[in-house]
Structure 1
Amino acid sequence: MAKAAAQRDPMSVMSGRTMPHNIEAEQALLGAILVNNEAFYRVSDFLRSDHFFEPLHRAIFDVMAGLIETNKVASPITLKTFLPPDLDVAGLSLPQYLARLAAEATTVLNAVDYGRAICDLAMRRELINIADDIRNAAFDSAVDCPPREQVEDAEQRLYEVAETSRFGSGFETFDAALTQAIDKAALAYQRDGKLSGLPTGLKDLDAKMGGLQPSDLIIIAGRPGMGKTSLATNIAFNVARAYEAPREGSSSTPEMSGGIVAFFSLEMSSEQLATRVIAEQSKISSSSIRRGDISENDFDALVQRRQEIRRIPLYIDSTGGLTIGQVAARARRLKRQRGLHLIVVDYIQLMQGTSHRVAPNRVREVTEITVGLKALAKELNVPIVALSQLSRQVENREEKRPQLSDLRESGSIEQDADVVLFVFRDEYYLKGQEPPAGTAARIAWAAELEASRGKAEIIIGKQRHGPTGTVILSFQGEFTRFSDLAAAHPLPYHPSP
């Protein structure tokens, strides 16, 4: 195979060491396919031609795949028509080499094992190439390329190698799918509140949604001032606070009532986000905390609350202008290092896609972001809560309650989301519509304002696996706190006669 060897990738030898490979395994697999084309279907879902080390074997596998996928027979006779006839393979002509592959073939039963061995060796070669690229990039780094970007690029490439080399399970029986569905229903039945997903800490909202479902993309949308960031922060904190780490040595999986949360805050700093949380928990106005307009007792309360909640697994990344690739890389890293059960992104319009560098089309860019977020939710099997702005057309109509068409760049967001929640507070708009004093309109307005005071509507505009509708929550703006309406405004107690 001297001539064929000369055509190998120049990266096949590095620093005097030959790249990992197994020519015999490649020959055995190709021979097995030539003898019995059924062997191809046993490896075709995970093995590609570029996994082969020998270039000639890549070409043979490509031709065989093309023939078999068009319902033709792949044999030494049919293959030689599509390959260079003048090849000299270690003194053998191409027809002779194909005949030897078929003659020395192993059984079809070993095809999967050989295929996986070839795939594993290809992954090791790719790891070597990545390591070499990382080294060269570090030596020859451009001035405008910070090391952090190189780290993230390396993480992305390593993860792609792991994913593309994963052996998929392929089809599963309907019985297996039914078992999973029944297991999920049993978990919801046994859980407090009958939830199948991650509890938000807001019982009325959970009752409508069944909690935050794994692999779902949940959009929280609203106009500025409605409280969408406050709602997302409350949910993230509630989930993190309820988390209980598995006990060491325990073989059983604990029932999940909380989880580890990754919060990507593209708008606010981590300090601002923490101020919102501590204000909500201590019931001290966040504006008073920022100005230092608090009493000694208030400060003691802040320190006390800090001690109580400082260990919750809520991780904040406040880097601005992240791309969907960077969000994915950082989420994967957190899941690998500490675990991950919920991702929050505040907000979509502040993220960047990769397409903005080549085509400044914002709609296309947002489509890339929402498709990427949905794919990440499925990949990590966690719910992703992503915030989104609404277009200004809401302000130009009399009925201010938002609709799906109000989503900015709405096409992709509406299509890719599993759940769309709108945050609406009538009180916000009524405050700016005060009629003149002493008029009948003023009396009606005052009554309407009082009825809406401290209340927020969470409008479920879309829910792929559940009903739509509206949930009324209590909202305390000074504390940026959402809570269940019944808990915030309990009915008066009337003793029995």
Structure 2
Amino acid sequence: MTIAEKAFLGSLMKAEYLLKDTVIRPDQLEGTIHKELMRRMVEYHQGGKNIDLISLTTLPDLNSFGGMSYLSELLSYGDVERFEGIEKIILDLWKEREKKNILTIANMNDWDISKVITSLDKINQSKIDDHTSLQHALSSIYEAPWEDQEILHHATTGIKKLDEVTGGFQSGEVTILAARPSMGKTDVMLHFAKMVGWDGYLPLVFSLEMPGKLITKRLIASTGNFNRSKMRDPKNMLTATQKNKWSDVIHDLNETNIHIFDGAGQTVAEMRAKTRKMIHQYPNKKPILFIDYLTLISPSDVYGGNSHLQVTEISKSLKMIAKDFDCPVICLAQLNRSVETRANKRPMMSDIRESGSVEQDADVILFLYREAYYDKDVQDQSLEIIVSKNRNGPVGFIKVHYNEHTGKIEDQKN
């Protein structure tokens, strides 16, 4: 009986919600005891019972599963953050066993080669259900010319003109938000997070550089329009008027339902596991992921120190998260220093650091640019959001009002 199966069952005991998510069926496990134990887990779950260690000790035939000691051993193998990798191992092993079985049966019964190929293809298609027949798709759209179209609600960016250009944050899409340091990336990201939170979504902020406490202070400053420097000592530095406003700001921010994960060097697999957990905690809210920032994400492989390949892997993995969870993913990225050497410092695609396949994988690429950052004599304090790539719409740029002291972002008044 494989360690992968032990880790799989142990993970189900550790995090019961995985049972509802998993693509593995009991008959795809190899060990007879493991098959039967998963069947019992499914029965317990369907009956509204827990499937943790304590609940499973009430199994009437506990000894046939190796007793309490074996269940404890399974639990010790559980690894929730690597669950998807464990699933893949089990599925791959099952496919290999099934292929061998088919070839044996085909040999014994002298099957026609086309029947063998069809049977093997069925096994290879055993993965997450991503199949739609054209017949089914056509039948669902058959009445379209005579029906009012359902208006799809996309998450707002909180910036009116940007919504008009991009249609807001779309499910299954990756948006890259890139700029040089101190241009306002984190403030723009937190503005997006607040707005989608107030819009009823579930903003999940993965901050790989800035601690959660500092992000919280930034959110308070931008929402209350407080100078960030005052957040170091609110008691002595905030005015009486600002203090009176404090509880309202806290209340408003609570309404966003933002969740911050500030562990350094998080991997995409860890983000997936945390996202999956939050989805089960908030089943009625669609998550939107905000990641700060791209090259701080730990890759699953070091690729001999080749950062280009590392970023390529991460970029593709972010696209898979967006598709698998059917949610928007917004990821921040740094720009190369080469921007600073040009006369025109407005960013371009090639400026994305270690760009890898970022340009190809991203659905939307936004750059930030402030003229006042480079020329202190410029009176215009606006922030340009340059839509450099937009897979499903036009490109262009939008100017917003940005207060670099408070972090507040607002539509420009015409």
* TM-score, length basis structure 1: 0.59
Residues 47, 279 of structure 1: alpha-carbon distance in 2 compared, 3 angstrom cutoff: closer
Whole-Å Cα distance in 2 between the matches of residues 333 and 349 of structure 1?
Answer: 24
1:171 matched to 2:133? The reply is yes
Instruction: Please name the residue that 1:216 is paired with.
Output: 173
Instruction: Please name the residue that 2:232 is paired with.
Output: 290
Could you tell me whether the CA contact under 8 Å between 2:206 and 2:290 is conserved in 1? Answer: yes
How do residues 29-108 of structure 1 correspond to structure 2 at under 5 angstroms?
51=28
1:326 matched to 2:270? The reply is yes
Whole-Å Cα distance in 2 between the matches of residues 286 and 206 of structure 1?
Answer: 28
Deviates most, 204-213 or 334-343? 334-343
**CA drift at 1:329:** 1.1
Instruction: Please name the residue that 2:13 is paired with.
Output: none
Whole-Å Cα distance in 2 between the matches of residues 134 and 322 of structure 1?
Answer: 30
Across the two proteins, how many residue pairs are aligned to each other? 332
For residue 468 of structure 1, what is the amino acid of its counterpart?
V
Could you tell me whether the CA contact under 8 Å between 1:123 and 1:161 is conserved in 2? Answer: no
Say which of 463, 468, 480 aligns to 2:390: 463
Instruction: Please name the residue that 1:389 is paired with.
Output: 334
> Partner of 1:462: helix, strand, or coil?
strand
Deviates most, 168-177 or 362-371? 168-177
Larger radius of gyration: 1
> Partner of 2:320: helix, strand, or coil?
helix
CA deviations over 1:438-496 (Å, ceiling 9, x no partner): xxxxxxxx4xx12x2x201110110111111111111111110111111xxx5xxxxxx
Residues 343, 164 of structure 1: alpha-carbon distance in 2 compared, 3 angstrom cutoff: farther
**CA drift at 1:294:** 1.5
How do residues 326-345 of structure 1 correspond to structure 2 at under 5 angstroms?
326-338=270-282, 339-345=285-291
Instruction: Please name the residue that 1:202 is paired with.
Output: 159
Whole-Å Cα distance in 2 between the matches of residues 210 and 159 of structure 1?
Answer: 35
Residues 371, 402 of structure 1: alpha-carbon distance in 2 compared, 3 angstrom cutoff: same
In structure 2, runs of 5+ residues without a counterpart are: 7-22, 43-64, 92-124
Could you tell me whether the CA contact under 8 Å between 2:194 and 2:253 is conserved in 1? Answer: no
Say which of 295, 309, 315 aligns to 1:370: 315
1:153 matched to 2:82? The reply is yes
Moved over 6 A (4+): 120-123, 125-129, 131-134, 159-164, 179-185
Whole-Å Cα distance in 2 between the matches of residues 305 and 397 of structure 1?
Answer: 42
Q: What is the aligned-residue identity percentage?
A: 29
Residues 336, 405 of structure 1: alpha-carbon distance in 2 compared, 3 angstrom cutoff: same
Whole-Å Cα distance in 2 between the matches of residues 390 and 306 of structure 1?
Answer: 34
For residue 356 of structure 2, what is the amino acid of its counterpart?
G
1:346 matched to 2:292? The reply is yes
How do residues 433-444 of structure 1 correspond to structure 2 at under 5 angstroms?
none
Residues 197, 272 of structure 1: alpha-carbon distance in 2 compared, 3 angstrom cutoff: same
Whole-Å Cα distance in 2 between the matches of residues 398 and 390 of structure 1?
Answer: 16
Whole-Å Cα distance in 2 between the matches of residues 430 and 180 of structure 1?
Answer: 57
For residue 398 of structure 2, what is the amino acid of its counterpart?
V
**CA drift at 1:182:** 8.6
Instruction: Please name the residue that 1:473 is paired with.
Output: 400
Instruction: Please name the residue that 2:354 is paired with.
Output: 409
Whole-Å Cα distance in 1 between the matches of residues 270 and 190 of structure 2?
Answer: 21
**CA drift at 1:303:** 2.4
> Partner of 2:313: helix, strand, or coil?
helix
For residue 157 of structure 1, what is the amino acid of its counterpart?
I
1:300 matched to 2:244? The reply is yes
> Partner of 1:482: helix, strand, or coil?
strand
**CA drift at 1:314:** 0.9
For residue 390 of structure 1, what is the amino acid of its counterpart?
L
Whole-Å Cα distance in 2 between the matches of residues 133 and 404 of structure 1?
Answer: 55
Instruction: Please name the residue that 2:106 is paired with.
Output: none
> Partner of 1:365: helix, strand, or coil?
helix
1:235 matched to 2:198? The reply is no
**CA drift at 1:134:** 9.1
**CA drift at 1:291:** 3.6
In structure 1, runs of 5+ residues without a counterpart are: 1-8, 15-45, 56-119, 141-148, 189-194, 244-258, 432-445, 491-497
Residues 284, 133 of structure 1: alpha-carbon distance in 2 compared, 3 angstrom cutoff: farther
**CA drift at 1:312:** 2.6
> Partner of 2:385: helix, strand, or coil?
strand
CA deviations over 1:260-309 (Å, ceiling 9, x no partner): 11111111111111111111111111111124322233222122311333
Whole-Å Cα distance in 2 between the matches of residues 398 and 350 of structure 1?
Answer: 29
Residues 138, 369 of structure 1: alpha-carbon distance in 2 compared, 3 angstrom cutoff: same
Whole-Å Cα distance in 1 between the matches of residues 325 and 183 of structure 2?
Answer: 30
**CA drift at 1:136:** 4.3
Could you tell me whether the CA contact under 8 Å between 1:334 and 1:340 is conserved in 2? Answer: no
Could you tell me whether the CA contact under 8 Å between 1:51 and 1:122 is conserved in 2? Answer: no
Could you tell me whether the CA contact under 8 Å between 1:423 and 1:458 is conserved in 2? Answer: yes
Residues 321, 299 of structure 1: alpha-carbon distance in 2 compared, 3 angstrom cutoff: same
**CA drift at 1:350:** 0.8
Instruction: Please name the residue that 1:279 is paired with.
Output: 221
Whole-Å Cα distance in 2 between the matches of residues 344 and 350 of structure 1?
Answer: 13
Whole-Å Cα distance in 2 between the matches of residues 274 and 182 of structure 1?
Answer: 49
Instruction: Please name the residue that 1:83 is paired with.
Output: none
Could you tell me whether the CA contact under 8 Å between 1:418 and 1:462 is conserved in 2? Answer: yes
**CA drift at 1:199:** 1.0
Whole-Å Cα distance in 1 between the matches of residues 198 and 41 of structure 2?
Answer: 41
CA deviations over 1:183-205 (Å, ceiling 9, x no partner): 999344xxxxxx75211111011
Whole-Å Cα distance in 1 between the matches of residues 89 and 212 of structure 2?
Answer: 30
> Partner of 1:401: helix, strand, or coil?
coil
Say which of 301, 307, 312 aligns to 1:355: 301
Instruction: Please name the residue that 2:202 is paired with.
Output: 260
CA deviations over 1:4-29 (Å, ceiling 9, x no partner): xxxxx689xx9xxxxxxxxxxxxxxx
Whole-Å Cα distance in 2 between the matches of residues 345 and 132 of structure 1?
Answer: 41
CA deviations over 1:302-358 (Å, ceiling 9, x no partner): 2231133324311111111101111111111111221433111011111111111x6
Whole-Å Cα distance in 2 between the matches of residues 384 and 209 of structure 1?
Answer: 14
Could you tell me whether the CA contact under 8 Å between 1:240 and 1:314 is conserved in 2? Answer: yes
Whole-Å Cα distance in 2 between the matches of residues 182 and 385 of structure 1?
Answer: 35
Could you tell me whether the CA contact under 8 Å between 2:400 and 2:411 is conserved in 1? Answer: yes
**CA drift at 1:161:** 6.9
Could you tell me whether the CA contact under 8 Å between 1:221 and 1:387 is conserved in 2? Answer: yes
**CA drift at 1:365:** 1.0
> Partner of 2:265: helix, strand, or coil?
coil
